[in-house]
């Protein structure tokens, strides 16, 4: 599908399903080297990262890898509200663990910075950050992103876990808001 309508807006395909899957395979291969012997705990940031986390985690082969979930909410409509609400924290003991944060998208970076601060409070040994999508032009805070799937322009996207007002998460490709529409 080249174009999709999600609620009132039209989106054009920008990253195909095959490109996403290929890139995830490459990231997993790199992680399997970097994380060997570290018994990493993956932390999937809900809701958006669930699809990325699922496809990636299936390809992680390092011994004693586990996954948990952390839920934050920051967006209303297509603009960031700048407010981050913690909806669900975790119960796992992170002390001295290697933690790998899995995020769908780093836009301004504020959500990620907030997430990292919260995780650091649990005294992990080290934190790796993986994001499927990065918007370099939108980034407002310094972040060390260890794994980036794709750099994209500063435009609103949907699909592959990312929503527009809760819709569009089920699309297997990533779509960008059509230029002709605002
Ligand atoms: P940040 O705090 O980096 O500005 O925003 C991070 C969160 O905002 C992401 O986890 C994601 O949920 C949401 N977000 C940012 N940009 C987009 C976008 O283009 N499309 C969608 N659907 N969500 C976005
Ligand atoms: Mg997210």
Q: Where are the alpha helices (DSSP H) in 67-133?
A: 110-120
- The helix/strand/coil state of 94 is coil
Q: Catalytic: 107?
A: yes
Q: Which residue has the tokens 């290929």?
A: 22
Straight-line distance from the first to the last Cα atom of the chain, in angstroms, rounded to the nearest whole number = 21
Ligand with smallest separation from the Cα of 159: 1
State the distance from the centre of ligand 1 to the C-alpha of 37, rounded, in angstroms: 32
Closest by CA to 155, choosing from 35, 14, 3, is 14
- The helix/strand/coil state of 27 is helix
As a whole number of angstroms, the distance between CA 15 and CA 13 comes to 6
State the distance from the centre of ligand 1 to the C-alpha of 91, rounded, in angstroms: 25
Residue 6 has pLDDT above 80, yes or no: yes
Helix (H) or strand (E) holding 18: helix 17-34
pLDDT tens digit sequence for 33-55: 999 999 999 999 998 999 999 99
Structure tokens at 163: 């929503």
Residue 19 has pLDDT above 80, yes or no: yes
CA gyration radius, the chain: 16
State the distance from the centre of ligand 2 to the C-alpha of 181, rounded, in angstroms: 24
pLDDT band, very low/low/confident/very high, at 28 (cuts 50, 70, 90): very high
| Per-chain mean pLDDT for the chain | 90
CA 57 to chain centre: 13
Asked if 79 and 106 touch (Cβ cutoff 8 Å), the reply is no
Structure tokens at 175: 């779509």
Pocket test for ligand 1, best of 11, 74, 108, 141 (most atoms within 8 A of CB): 74
CA 77 to chain centre: 18
Number of the ligand 1 atom closest to the C-alpha atom of 156:
19
Structure tokens at 37: 């012997």
pLDDT tens digit sequence for 79-138: 555 556 666 667 788 999 999 999 999 999 988 988 898 889 889 999 999 999 999 999
Kindly report the number of other CB atoms within 10 A of residue 12's CB atom. Answer: 15
Ligand with smallest separation from the Cα of 50: 2
- Please give the pLDDT value at position 114: 83
Minimum CA distance residue for ligand 1 atom 17: 156
Residue 179 has pLDDT above 90, yes or no: no
State the distance from the centre of ligand 1 to the C-alpha of 144, rounded, in angstroms: 18
- Please give the pLDDT value at position 110: 86
Helix (H) or strand (E) holding 127: strand 126-134
**Ligand 1 in reach of 15 Cβ (< 6 A):** no
């Amino acid at each position: 599908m080249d174009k999709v309508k999600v609620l009132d807006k039209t989106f054009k395909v920008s990253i195909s399903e095959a490109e996403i899957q290929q890139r995830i395979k490459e990231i997993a291969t790199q992680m399997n080297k970097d994380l060997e012997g570290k018994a990493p705990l993956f932390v999937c940031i809900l809701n958006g990262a669930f699809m990325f986390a699922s496809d990636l985690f299936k390809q992680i082969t390092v011994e004693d890898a586990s996954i948990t979930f952390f839920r934050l909410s920051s967006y209303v409509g297509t603009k960031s509200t700048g407010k981050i609400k913690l909806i669900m924290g975790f119960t796992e003991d992170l002390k001295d663990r290697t933690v790998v944060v899995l995020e769908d998208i780093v836009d301004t970076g504020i959500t990620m910075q907030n997430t990292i601060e919260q995780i650091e409070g649990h005294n992990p040994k080290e934190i790796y950050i993986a994001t499927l999508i990065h918007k370099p032009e939108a980034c407002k805070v310094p972040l060390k992103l260890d794994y980036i799937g794709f750099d994209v322009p500063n435009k609103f996207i949907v699909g592959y876990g990312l929503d527009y007002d809760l819709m569009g998460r089920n699309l297997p490709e990533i779509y960008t808001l059509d230029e002709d529409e605002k």
